[in-house]
A and B are shown apart, each in its own frame.
Chain A
Amino acid sequence: MRRGRAWTIWKIAACDFRLTMREKSTVLWIFLMPLAFITFFGLSFGGGSGRTPLAALTVENNDGGFLSADLVSLLEGENYFVQMSDTLPDGADPVRTLVIPEGFTDGVLGRGKVELALLREKGSNENAGRAASAAIFRSLARLVSGLVEIEEGLIREGSESIAIRGDTLYGSLLLVSQGGPGMAAVVEQRIDTMLVRPSNVTVRPERAGRSMETPGGFQSSVPGSLVMFVLMTMLFSGAAITAERQSGLLKRIGMSPAGKGDVVAGKLLGRILIGAVQIIFLLAVGRLFFRISLGNDIDGLFLLMLAFAFAMGSLSILFGSLLSDPDQVTTIGVITAMAMSALGGCWWPLEMVSAPMRVVAYCLPTGWTINGIHRLMSFGMGTAAVLPHIAVLTLFGLVFLAAGAKRLKWDV
């Protein structure tokens, strides 16, 4: 028994899929180039899984005492990339530097006046500078509160070198440490014990709502490259339609029992399959090798990607119908893909661009796709949050498909 229309559509789709996968350039454009872009842009924007990179703080330690070493340790615990100035490579120019003066430890232990300096390179990030100041204050507060606690303990123990008489504090930890052999080590050990103890009070910063980490690094480069290269693959595949029109293949298919509707459906399905392979590959590589988060709603991601592949496959048919030369399709396809990617937020976050450019982004399928991906993958939202995106992408697809089917001619 002979098969019906669904079989015919499948044969057309499978043939297109097979032909695309056999081409050597396919390996380059579907698999290798996106990986190169993901790696390059991912590393350029911080690498990792999208965590905000640590700000750098250089420490010029002119003090030889243990308290300055403790201060540096506390700063490292503040999520700062702390580098000592004497370990900087030659020619390296520190962005911000904390200068610990000579005699810092003795000054603090002796309750004297000690002045730290935070030097900032002109033009350096103001927010990071302010955050560095806050981190230094927190570390100093931790250090000083520890010293006060030790002082209280020593006073209670009846130390001769430190005592309260009336309302006045006499002596200091410096005197204690100088009070006899081994006393300096005792003070240092007590401080160290104090500092490794968990703080009684901590502040945990969290973002309001359901958001997770701000996308950056690979968390940003994987979706951006995915959207750009799927778009590029789809537009390039429009050249295959034009080539079939030129060679008479499409006309011959049109002479078979497959009507125009079957041909368009088959071509679309083939392109969706090609897009699906590329999307699954890039998301899998992103998850396994670049450790990106796919979010909490795989179903929503599947629906969004399906709508995106549908819109791009339809655009491919429109390109193949409108243009009459495969080279023309390729050239215009590259320009279109680049423009739609840049404007749609594939290259940089839309939050960085002006309000009018954000409006432009949401006039393009790429803008809706990128925003939808970040909602799901970066901000942990669910399917409901991307239903408008899916609807808009489907609408884009239907418009492209209707125009492409109407303009499709069997030959050139």
Chain B
Amino acid sequence: MTEMIVVKELSRSFGEIRAVRGIGFTVARGEIFGFLGPNGAGKTTTISMLSGLLRPDSGSITIDGMDMASHGRDIRRIMGIIPQEIALYEELSGRDNLLFWGGLYGLAGGELRDSVDRALELVELIDRAKDPVRTYSGGMKRRINLCAGLVHDPKIILLDEPTLGIDPQARIRILDVVKGLADRGKTIIYTTHYLEEAEHICDRIAIIDEGTIYASGTLAELVELVGGKIMVTVSGGFGAGDVRELVGDAEIDHIENGELRVKLLDRDSTGRFLGGLFSTGLHVDGVAIREPSLESVFLQVTGRELRD
């Protein structure tokens, strides 16, 4: 598979804050590559460096065979960027916004108008194209925001949390558009802090936190990292020694007074473990069971939950 994006040892600091710490990854042509991480993980900084807006302190970015350091403008011409913010002129109509953004990418005349029409049809906003953006709903603004990054038919699309703060229905529409773009051979980098989005649309996912990629791969590969096991977390008024015997052969992920986290092979062994726990009469405040998922992977590799 052709590598469209190759990133090596990329770092960027803002004063004392090391926002991105030597990350590296590759993205193949036509692939949706997800960055999953909480706010402040370094996703937007990475996108800013990939788009040429920020210069890395060190490392290299190669896109479609061109080095970002020397071919920034050429790279930006084949790239469509959908930022986290609704970055549109609210007083202009949807169409006028797209005419402006398309123009910035060098489109003009009939080619520009045709591209705008195609983009509006793609996000199903052709009927509202003449209305000022300020009159749009939140979901419609998100869609036209997406559209503005697509009007010049880019090879590579960077989406930075494109579904932030919208209702589930509007989110599904945007995700459908993104999947459709990948089907048409576009290379996509998609950042999100929504686990289900990453699971739903990404071919491969990088788990990023504190500027570091902790793990990356397909969903199956990442789940394999936690051994494909069920993770049970028990909290209560017990000592570590009280529960150690109950665990038996199960793999202890974490144990200390008042908290125990174990990995269990399947639901039967989980049932047996919990039955044994309650039969001891130990004081238990809460039990959390996590099936093997991206969430448990995130917890496993970063040591904290995504919503922390």
Contacts and interface: CB of A to CB of B under 8 A. Distances in A.
A23 B89 CA distance: 13
Contacts of A249: 87-89
B248 interface: no
Which of A18, A19, A248, A255 has the largest count of B CB atoms less than 10 A from its CB?
A255
A12 B104 contact: yes
Contact of A256 (B48, B105, B108): B105
Which of B76, B101, B104, B148 has the largest count of A CB atoms less than 10 A from its CB?
B104
A255 B76 contact: yes
Contact of B77 (A2, A22, A252): A2
B83 A248 contact: yes
Interface in B29-49: 48
Contacts of A15: 89, 100
Interface in A22-62: 22-23
A305 B86 CA distance: 38
A259 B74 CA distance: 11
Given A2-B106, A7-B106, A256 B91 contact: no
Interface in B102-145: 103-108
Given A248-B83, A251-B83, A410-B53, A256 B101 contact: yes
A252 B81 contact: yes
A166 to B, nearest CB: 99
A405 B93 CA distance: 30
A18 B96 CA distance: 11
Contact of A247 (B52, B76, B85): B85
A259 B88 contact: no
A254 B100 CA distance: 14
B108 A7 contact: yes
A8 B108 CA distance: 10
Contacts of A19: 89, 91-92
Contacts of A332: none
Contacts of A259: 72-73
A11 B100 contact: yes
B106 A8 contact: yes
B105 A252 contact: no
Interface in A235-285: 247-249, 251-259
B63 to A, nearest CB: 13
For the side of the interface on B, what is the size category?
A: 20 to 34
B51 interface: yes
A411 to B, nearest CB: 9
Contacts of B89: 15, 19, 249
Contacts of B53: 251, 254-255, 410
Interface residues of A, number: 25
Contacts of A253: 104
A18 B92 CA distance: 9
Contact of A4 (B84, B91, B103, B106): B106
A22 B81 CA distance: 28
Which of A22, A23, A251, A259 has the largest count of B CB atoms less than 10 A from its CB?
A251
Nearest to A411: B85
Contact of A257 (B106, B108, B148): B106
A259 B81 CA distance: 15
Nearest to B51: A255
B87 A2 contact: no
B91 A22 contact: yes
Nearest to A246: B85
A2 B107 CA distance: 5
Contacts of A254: 53
A3 interface: yes
A281 to B, nearest CB: 22
Which of A249, A256, A257, A258 has the largest count of B CB atoms less than 10 A from its CB?
A256
B235 to A, nearest CB: 41
Nearest to A10: B103
Nearest to A259: B73
Contacts of A7: 103, 106, 108
A349 B148 CA distance: 52
Contact of B104 (A18, A247, A251, A256): A256
Given A8-B106, A252-B83, A257 B73 contact: yes
A12 B51 CA distance: 19
Nearest to A263: B104
B231 to A, nearest CB: 38
Contacts of B83: 248, 251-252, 255
Nearest to B108: A3
A247 B87 contact: yes
Given A19-B92, A259-B73, A252 B107 contact: no
B105 to A, nearest CB: 6
B70 to A, nearest CB: 14
A241 to B, nearest CB: 13
Contacts of A251: 53, 83, 85, 87
B81 A257 contact: no
A147 to B, nearest CB: 79
A22 B91 CA distance: 9
A3 B152 CA distance: 12
A258 B53 CA distance: 11
Nearest to A23: B91
Contact of A255 (B52, B106, B108): B52
Contacts of A12: 104
A257 B87 contact: no
Given A23-B91, A251-B87, A252-B81, 8 more contacts: A2-B107, A7-B108, A15-B100, A248-B85, A248-B87, A256-B105, A257-B77, A259-B72
Interface of B: 48, 51-53, 72-73, 76-77, 81, 83-89, 91-92, 100-101, 103-108, 148
The 3 A-B pairs with the shortest beta carbon distances in the complex, nearest first, are A2-B106, A248-B85, A11-B103
5 contacts: A3-B108, A18-B92, A247-B86, A251-B87, A257-B104
